[in-house]
């Protein structure tokens, strides 16, 4: 084992492995790609979901959601305008978290706890999008 101020060799090996960054980006956007595939394969269900959350007109919001969930990940995975893809998904995630997980408007209890947990998880994803954009900018500058 190396001193605590140095990264262990096996961690260096993983981080230096060329596919690691791509795999990490894929992991970050995987839920959005899956969500787009599910919504696109059941568009009436996607429209019903938007209606459930009070979005009007629901078909427009369903189509926009599918588009964001496809375009954002593609931009991140291809590293073409990665900052834009990360921004798209970050804003989308924040708006979805506010709309779908408004724990502050719920009575105390299990449902509020679950909504608060989901909201905080979404905030973590937003942090991941900021980090991937920062890392990409640093990699391009190097």
Give yes or no for residue 58 having a pLDDT over 60.
Answer: yes
**22 in a structural domain:** yes
> What's the domain count of the chain?
1
Give tens-digit pLDDT for 21-43: 999 999 999 999 999 999 999 99
Residues 6+ positions from 106 with CB-CB distance below 8 Å:
112, 115
**19 in a structural domain:** yes
**69 in a structural domain:** yes
> Under a CB-based contact definition with an 8 Å cutoff, are residues 119 and 105 in contact?
no
**3 in a structural domain:** no
**30 in a structural domain:** yes
**84 in a structural domain:** yes
**115 in a structural domain:** yes
Q: Is the pTM of this model over 0.85?
A: yes
- In this predicted structure, what is the pLDDT of residue 36? 98
**2 in a structural domain:** no
Domain range for 85: 9-141
């Amino acid at each position: 084992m190396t001193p605590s101020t140095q990264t262990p060799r096996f961690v260096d090996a993983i981080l230096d492995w060329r596919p690691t960054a791509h795999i990490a980006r894929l992991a970050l956007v995987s839920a959005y790609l899956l969500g787009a595939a599910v919504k696109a394969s059941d568009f009436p269900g996607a429209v019903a979901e938007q209606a459930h959350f009070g979005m009007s007109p629901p078909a427009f919001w369903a189509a926009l959601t599918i588009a964001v969930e496809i375009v954002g990940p593609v931009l991140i995975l291809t590293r073409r305008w990665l900052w834009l893809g990360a921004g798209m998904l970050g804003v989308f995630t924040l708006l979805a978290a506010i709309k779908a997980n408004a724990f502050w408007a719920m009575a105390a209890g299990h449902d509020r706890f679950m909504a608060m947990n989901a909201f905080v998880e979404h905030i973590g994803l937003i942090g991941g999008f900021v980090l991937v954009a920062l890392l990409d900018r640093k990699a391009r500058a190097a």
